[in-house]
Structure 1
Amino acid sequence: MKLLIVDDEPPARAKLRRLLSDMPGVTLVGEAADADEALALAITHAPDAALLDIQLPGRSGLELALLLPPGVVCAFCTAFDQHAVRAFELNAVDYLLKPYTGERLAEAIARMQQRLAAAGAAPRRGALLTALQQLQPLTGDWLVPQRGGGLRRLPLAEVEWVAAADNYIELHAPPACHLDRRTLAEFLAHPAAKGFVQVHRSHAVNPVHVLGIAPLPRGEAQLTLRSGETLRISRSFRDALK
C-alpha cells in the first residue's frame, strides 16, 4: 500500500514515519504540510491511501479528502474529536485521536488495506465509472462522482457557479458543492456547459442565477447570486456579461 501522510507539524510526521517503518506492506511515498503540497504529491506518486490531519494551513484535511483522486482511501489523525461525524460522512476508514499508540495506528492501517482489497475485488468498477463520466450528456446535466463510489446526475440549471480547484472543479449548487476531476477550461469547452460564462480566471457563472452586478475599483465588478454568494469579475473578463 502506497501511503501519503499530511500534517503541518514536523514532530507528528516524524512519529508517523517511525511507526510506519515497522509495518509490513506499507510504502511511504510522500509527506506534506498542507493540502496544496499533498495534491501535488498525489498527482506525482499516485498513493493508495492517505493519513490526514484536519487542521492544516489553507484547506482543511476534510476539504483535502474531497480533492484527492478517486480511489484514495483516507484516515484522519487529529487532536480534535468534533470532526469525526463529518469525517465518516466522507467515507473515512478511521479517525485517530492524538496522541495515539502504535497499536492504534496499526489498526487503522489494517482497515485501509482491507478497504483497498475490497475495492480491488471489482477491478473493472473504477474503469467503468471513468468511462461513464467521460460520456457526459448533452442535455444540460453533469455526471459527478460520489465519495462512496458511483456517479450522480446533476442538472446544470441548479449550478450557480463553478470554481477551479487545481485539477478539479467545484460545482456549486446550493446548498451542495460537488467536485469533479477536470479543469475549468475542460468544463467550459463541453457542450453540456453551454451558457456558463467565465468571469474570472478561477470561476465561471450561470447567468440565470445572477441577481445584480456592482462596480468595483480598477475596472472590476462584483456579482451577487441567488444564494447570496458574491463573486468578483476581473477586468479581463468584464465584457463577458454585457
Structure 2
Amino acid sequence: MRLLLVDDEPPARAKLRRLLADLPGVEVVGEAGDAEEALSVLAQTPADAALLDIQMPGMSGLALAATLPPSVLVAFTTAYDAFAVQAFELNAVDYLLKPFTRERLHACVERLRQRLAPGARERQRQGLLAALHSLQPMPGHWMVSHRGALHRIAMADIEAVEAADNYVELHTARESWLDRVTLAAFLAHPAAGSFVQVHRSFAVNVGRIARIAPLAKGDAELTMESGRTVRVSRRYREGLMKHQGLVPPTRSP
C-alpha cells in the first residue's frame, strides 16, 4: 500500500514514518507540509491512501480530502476531536487523535488495507446502493451515489426516467443522474408513485407533463415542462391516460 503523509509539522511526519517502518507491504511514497504540496506530490506520485492532518496553514485537511480523487483513501491524524463528524461525512476510513500509539496507527493501516483489498470497493459500493434503495424514500427525494458522494434529488424535479440495462438515468430539467436500479424496480418503489411508464425504456413524472399530442398508429408525444419530448408507444398510451386523472372527463350526451 502506497501512503502519502500530510502534516505541517516535520516531527509529526517523522514519527509517522518511524511507526510505519516495520509494517510489511506499506510504502511511504511522499510527504507534504500543506495541501498545495500534497496535491503536487500526488500529481507525480500515485498513492493508495493519505494520512492527513486537519489543522494546517492554507487549505485544511478536510478541504484537501474533499478535493482528492475517490481512488485515494483518507484517514485523519489530528489533535482535535471537533472535526470527527465532518471527517466521516467525507468518507474517511479512520480518525486518529494525537497522540496515538503504534498499535492504533497499525489498526488504521489495516482498515485502509481492507478497503483496498480486491473487490472491497465494489462490495462497499453495492452495499451502499442496496442500503440506499432499502431506505428510500426519503420524503419527496431519491438518493443517488455519484463519484463517491451521496446526492439528494427532489422527486418533483425528476421529469423522466430512462432505462439503461441495469441502470436508469434520472433526468431533471438541468442534469441527469445514473443510478444502479432497473426501471421496473424504480417504478415499483413507493417513492415513484407519480411516475408512469410510457415506453419500454421510458417513464415520466405525470406532474411534469406540459402537453400530450397524438401521433399516427396510436402513438403519442409528450412535451415535458423543460421542453423535453418523449414518445409514448401505443402499448402504454392507455395506461398513461388513466394515470392520476389524465383521462378527460366523460361528457354527458
With normalisation by structure 1, the TM-score equals 0.52
Label 1:82 to 1:121 Cα distance change in 2 as closer, same or farther (>3 A). Answer: closer
1:146 aligns with 2:120: no
Report the CA distance between 1:147 and its aligned residue. Answer: 3.0
Q: Distance in 2 between matches of 1:121 and 1:83?
A: 25
Identity %: 58
More RCO (CA 8 Å, sep 6+) = 1
Contact kept, 8 Å, 2:75 with 2:95, in 1: the verdict is yes
Q: Distance in 2 between matches of 1:37 and 1:93?
A: 22
Label 1:156 to 1:55 Cα distance change in 2 as closer, same or farther (>3 A). Answer: farther
Label 1:68 to 1:76 Cα distance change in 2 as closer, same or farther (>3 A). Answer: same
Provide Cα deviations, 1:19-64, integer angstroms capped at 9, x if missing partner: 1111111010000000010011111111000000000111100010
Label 1:157 to 1:85 Cα distance change in 2 as closer, same or farther (>3 A). Answer: same
Q: Distance in 1 between matches of 2:50 and 2:73?
A: 6
1:48 aligns with 2:75: no
In structure 2, the partner of 1:90 is: 90
1:7 aligns with 2:1: no
Report the CA distance between 1:146 and its aligned residue. Answer: 3.4
With normalisation by structure 2, the TM-score equals 0.50
Residue type of the partner of 1:146?
R
Q: Secondary structure at the match of 2:51?
A: strand
Residue type of the partner of 2:65?
A
Alignment of 1:50-89 (within 5 A): 50-89=50-89
Label 1:156 to 1:77 Cα distance change in 2 as closer, same or farther (>3 A). Answer: farther
Provide Cα deviations, 1:138-179, integer angstroms capped at 9, x if missing partner: xxxxx99433489x9897969xxxxxxxxxxxxxxxxxxxxx
Alignment of 1:1-242 (within 5 A): 1-117=1-117, 119=119, 122=122, 145-148=146-149
Q: Secondary structure at the match of 1:59?
A: coil
Label 1:121 to 1:75 Cα distance change in 2 as closer, same or farther (>3 A). Answer: closer
Which stretches of structure 1, 4 residues or longer, exceed 2 Å deviation after superposition?
118-123, 143-150, 152-158
Q: Distance in 1 between matches of 2:58 and 2:171?
A: 28
Q: Distance in 2 between matches of 1:120 and 1:29?
A: 23
Q: Distance in 2 between matches of 1:112 and 1:67?
A: 19
Q: What are the ranges of 5 or more consecutive residues in structure 1 without an aligned counterpart?
A: 126-142, 159-242
How much is the aligned-residue C-alpha RMSD, in angstroms?
3.0
Q: What are the ranges of 5 or more consecutive residues in structure 2 without an aligned counterpart?
A: 126-143, 154-169, 176-253
Label 1:67 to 1:18 Cα distance change in 2 as closer, same or farther (>3 A). Answer: same
Report the CA distance between 1:18 and its aligned residue. Answer: 0.5
Contact kept, 8 Å, 1:7 with 1:33, in 2: the verdict is yes
Residue type of the partner of 2:8?
D
Residue type of the partner of 1:28?
V
**Number of equivalences:** 140
